[in-house]
């Protein structure tokens, strides 16, 4: 997906949502966890089912992307907090959280940090959902712990994923990060955290690890899910369609959103119906 198309999609989504932050009915809680002072927020009834909503949705979403984009977070919370206790974090090194050295953001570190937040808020077992980088983290967590009750893997193929291409692409871009990455960074050198992260996954035994995931699983993606990583053009939806028979045989559910591209993840009206249908039937 071209940058111009992405920005146009974001603008269309934002225009269809409220133009100012609205109050979500919730029992709201916030705090900091660990040596990196990871900032988190909890929304919804404390008796609700635990749900960790991962990247690209962060606790300080409005502070990071602006008040107009904050309405996306609000819409997701409105669509979830009637039944779920929703956890959001500022991670990594973003928003109100402290900094993590760029050489330390390995897959092991990410999993340990996210589980430390889960422990701190008292989630013994929880559903998890995220897109792209958030989906990778979900796969890592679900393959390492039985605490996840349901997994939503958004815009990322659980099998056949381009981990090497992501490492090579982030390595290419590290000397001069693209402008689209800067809202998620405090400075340009921080971009090297993604090189560290993707390097740590080069030897990850994907097939073996994914086979260990036994909770209900949903792969949720748009018809044209695309990612540009340096010189690598990654057609993620093509991989998902090619692997669909194998994934369904292994127990995955797949939901493809027709006539949309990667930016659909920023459209709660499109994502919430299949997301809620899956969560409500699985948790």
Q: What is the pLDDT of residues 41-66, one digit of tens each?
A: 999 999 999 999 999 999 999 999 98
| Distance between CA atoms of residues 111 and 84, nearest Å | 22
Q: What was the pLDDT predicted at 15?
A: 34
Surface-to-core class of residue 23, CB atoms within 10 Å of its CB (0-12 exposed, 13-18 middle, 19+ buried): exposed
Going by C-alpha positions, the residue among 104, 90, 110, 89 that lies closest to residue 184 is 90
Percentage, residues of the chain above pLDDT 90 = 87
For residue 200, what are the CA distances in angstroms to 26, 130, 266?
38, 20, 28
Predicted local distance difference test score (pLDDT) of residue 28: 85
Predicted local confidence at residue 27, as pLDDT: 64
Percent of the chain with pLDDT over 70: 90
CA distance 18 to 38: 29
* Residue 91 CB neighbour total at 10 angstroms: 25
Q: Is the pLDDT of residue 134 over 50?
A: yes
How many CA within 13 A on the CB side of residue 3? 5
Q: Do 6 and 180 meet the contact criterion of CB atoms below 8 Å apart?
A: yes
Q: List the structure tokens of 272.
A: 């919430």
- CATH no., domain 3-282: 3.40.50.1820
Residues 165-208: tens digit of each pLDDT: 999 999 999 999 999 999 999 999 999 999 999 999 999 999 99
Peptide bond into 108 cis (omega under 30): no
In the prediction, which pLDDT does 91 show? Answer: 97
Q: Give the tokens for residue 22.
A: 């609205």
Separation between Cα atoms, residue 157 and residue 131, nearest integer Å: 10
At 65-97, the pLDDT tens digits run: 988 889 999 999 999 999 999 999 999 999 999
């Amino acid at each position: 997906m071209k940058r111009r198309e992405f920005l146009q999609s974001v603008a269309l989504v934002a225009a269809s949502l409220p133009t100012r932050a609205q109050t979500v009915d919730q029992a709201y809680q916030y705090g900091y966890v660990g040596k990196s002072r990871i900032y988190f927020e909890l929304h919804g009834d404390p008796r609700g089912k635990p749900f960790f909503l991962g990247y690209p949705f962060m606790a300080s979403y409005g502070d990071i992307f602006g008040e107009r984009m904050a309405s996306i977070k609000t819409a997701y919370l409105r669509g979830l907090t009637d039944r779920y206790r929703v956890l959001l974090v500022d991670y990594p090194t973003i928003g109100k959280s402290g900094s993590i050295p760029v050489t330390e953001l390995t897959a092991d570190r990410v999993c340990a940090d996210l589980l430390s937040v889960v422990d701190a808020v008292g989630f013994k077992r929880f559903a998890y959902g995220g897109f792209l980088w958030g989906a990778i983290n979900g796969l890592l967590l679900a393959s390492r712990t039985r605490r996840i009750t349901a997994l939503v893997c958004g815009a990322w193929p659980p099998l056949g994923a381009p981990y090497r291409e992501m490492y090579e692409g982030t390595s290419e871009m590290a000397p001069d990060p693209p402008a689209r990455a800067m809202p998620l960074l405090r400075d340009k050198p921080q971009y090297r955290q993604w090189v560290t992260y993707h390097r740590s996954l080069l030897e990850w035994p994907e097939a073996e690890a994914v086979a260990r995931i036994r909770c209900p699983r949903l792969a949720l993606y748009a018809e044209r899910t695309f990612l540009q990583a340096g010189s690598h053009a990654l057609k993620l939806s093509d991989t998902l369609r090619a692997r669909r028979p194998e994934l369904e045989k292994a127990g995955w559910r797949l939901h493809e959103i027709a006539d949309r591209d990667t930016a659909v993840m920023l459209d709660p009206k499109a994502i919430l119906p299949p997301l809620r249908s899956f969560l409500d039937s699985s948790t």
